[in-house]
Structure 1
Amino acid sequence: MAQPDDSSTTTSNNSATCRFQDDFELYSFEIVRAMKQKEKSYHPSQCLKCQIYITPTQRETLISSMINLSRKHNIKRDTLFMAVNYLDRFLKVVTVTEDCFELVGLTCMMIACKVEECQPPKMEEFLTSCTHYYKKAEMKRLEIIILNYIDFRLSPPIAPHFLEYIIHFHQHHYHQFSQQTYIELVNIANQVLLKILPTYRFNHIKSSILAASAFEYAKIICGYATSVCSYPYQDRVTFITISTTVDHLRDFFEK
């Protein structure tokens, strides 16, 4: 019986690897370029600028309660970040009073769950989490209002999405760390993003910048204090912004 030709198999595998690398270069660049393009219209910078009754501290308290709710109901990380994006985009264009602010946050969470979760919590489960008393009819009516004001645009490019891309890009181009180290870095970076999510001082920074900065800060935490890596969506201004944001993260966590 003829034996398989090991050299031809190796050549075939190498060709397949090269094709995969070429595909990664082509499609990952197109995907991140589309995400960056979407980010411009989905980024609710300084969302409290027009608010009369809502303060950064109140926003922080609400988002912290949304984080706790997501843990209670095993809601996915991406769902939570999407809900906060809906909330901030709504706050940017509509003046909200204190008495309905909590309901706005929970309704944004409910909308995000309908988009992202396979088995979203029921409306009653959200309402029982409120410190105020609200009716189902109020939540349903507010859901329609929020959807109209955010133009039914429900797929924002959130920071965890950019972080996933950054990790793949870094592994593909730099080969700097072991697989286990990359897992550790992405876990730390995700924790950084979650920790700063309620904090208004980071609201003006785009998701792509926050993701890159969280990854760079995770490297510092793990003792890999190297210069900021280069990313496809990065120009000189972006490089400086990432470096500055890393400094802000160090100040925030190490003060």
Structure 2
Amino acid sequence: MSSFSKSESRIAMENLLCDEVWLSSPGTPDLSHESEHYIWKGYGYADLFYTTKEDSEQALVICLKKEFSYMPEAGYLDYLQSKNLVFARFRAVQWLIKTCTRLNLSIGTVFNAVNYLDRFLSMSQCHGWKHWMMELLSVACLSIAAKFNETSLPSLDELQMEDLEHCFQPSTIQQMELMLLQALKWRLGSTTSYSYIELITSNYICDINYNLHKELINQVNRALVKAILDFELVPYPPSVVAVSALWCSLEELVPSSYNAHLTKILKLINQDHEVKILKCQVSLS
């Protein structure tokens, strides 16, 4: 692992603001088994934040209204492909997932970190990203997401302990964090696909037993992790990805009643999304 000196760190931060010669991607990675090996801190019935159905319904409406304002800029998918950033993004998201798992951070933290990463990349005016730049951005995204989500924070050294080729000084990471915060306009309370799972399952899928409910949540989480690794699913609204993941999991776990559950769930979201849900569900199956 290479380490940046103070002078190198200053130059690195200046270069991050400028056009550079960018990383070339070897191609689109295989995502089929990536999400199967991670265990997350999640929630159970005792951990639910919303105590009444009315609270959940109101929160769901708010999420649906604001989800588009927390999505990457239009044309992001084309940008990733045209700049050969598909594999670079995959590797960054994979590192975020592995590091959150290693440090026992919540699954919400990794979804926020990936959201910050995608939004920042989509706003970038640069012509490409060198490998060290993506690593620095990934560390900054996870650091900010942890500060926003977690009660016990890992140190910057702990974040960089594994799976990075560069080691950045705290001052460099902090400068990147400030640049990231300014680009995101300090809007960190992102609506992600994970934001919808508690809202839907706690009040609209409440007629299954505890163990089955727990398995449903775990399976949906695995599907959502698979989804954030797949760059082709980035343009879908978070609600579409969430419902698609629930659809796949319900169909497998409760085949006799999944249609009834799905009907209730589909009524909760924008009816214009039904075609997108069908396409997304096929991708996640």
TM-score (norm 2): 0.72
Give 1:48 deviation, angstroms. 4.9
Distance 1:118 1:25 in 2: 27
Residues 133-173 of structure 1 show CA distances to partners (whole Å, capped at 9, x for unaligned) of 4222211111100000000001011222201111023235x
The share of aligned pairs that are identical, in percent, is 22
Paired position in structure 2 for 1:115: 148
Alignment match of 2:251 (pick from 206, 220, 223): 220
Give 1:223 deviation, angstroms. 5.2
Alignment match of 2:184 (pick from 117, 141, 150): 150
Give 1:80 deviation, angstroms. 0.6
SS in 1 for 2:229: coil
Structure 1 residue 233 corresponds to structure 2 residue 272: no
TM-aligned CA distance change 1:214 to 1:30, over 3 Å = same
Contact (CA 8 Å) 1:49, 1:92: kept in 2 or not? Answer: no
Structure 1 residue runs of 5 or longer lacking an equivalent are 1-22, 251-255
Structure 2 residue runs of 5 or longer lacking an equivalent are 1-50
SS in 2 for 1:234: coil
**Cα RMSD after superposing both structures:** 2.1
Structure 1 residue 55 corresponds to structure 2 residue 90: no
Contact (CA 8 Å) 2:156, 2:170: kept in 1 or not? Answer: yes
Distance 1:149 1:132 in 2: 24
Amino acid at match of 1:47: Y
TM-aligned CA distance change 1:148 to 1:49, over 3 Å = farther
Paired position in structure 2 for 1:80: 110
Paired position in structure 2 for 1:166: 200
Distance 2:87 2:249 in 1: 26
Distance 2:228 2:174 in 1: 26
TM-aligned CA distance change 1:200 to 1:153, over 3 Å = same
Paired position in structure 2 for 1:14: none
Give 1:75 deviation, angstroms. 1.1
Q: Which stretches of structure 1, 4 residues or more, deviate above 6 A after TM superposition?
A: none
Give 1:114 deviation, angstroms. 0.9
Contact (CA 8 Å) 1:80, 1:109: kept in 2 or not? Answer: yes
Alignment match of 2:63 (pick from 22, 28, 35): 35
Alignment match of 1:97 (pick from 120, 129, 133): 129
Give 1:54 deviation, angstroms. 4.8
Paired position in structure 2 for 1:126: 159
Distance 1:49 1:152 in 2: 26
Paired position in structure 1 for 2:72: 44
Residues 52-98 of structure 1 show CA distances to partners (whole Å, capped at 9, x for unaligned) of 64511111111111111111111111011000001111001013521
Residues 111-152 of structure 1 show CA distances to partners (whole Å, capped at 9, x for unaligned) of 001111111111122234321242222111111000000000
Distance 2:154 2:176 in 1: 17
Equivalent pairs counted in the alignment come to 225
Contact (CA 8 Å) 1:50, 1:93: kept in 2 or not? Answer: no
Distance 1:39 1:26 in 2: 20
Q: Greater CA deviation, 143-152 or 39-48?
A: 39-48
Contact (CA 8 Å) 1:54, 1:97: kept in 2 or not? Answer: no
Contact (CA 8 Å) 1:48, 1:91: kept in 2 or not? Answer: no
Give 1:209 deviation, angstroms. 1.1
Q: Which has the larger radius of gyration?
A: 1
Distance 2:182 2:254 in 1: 47
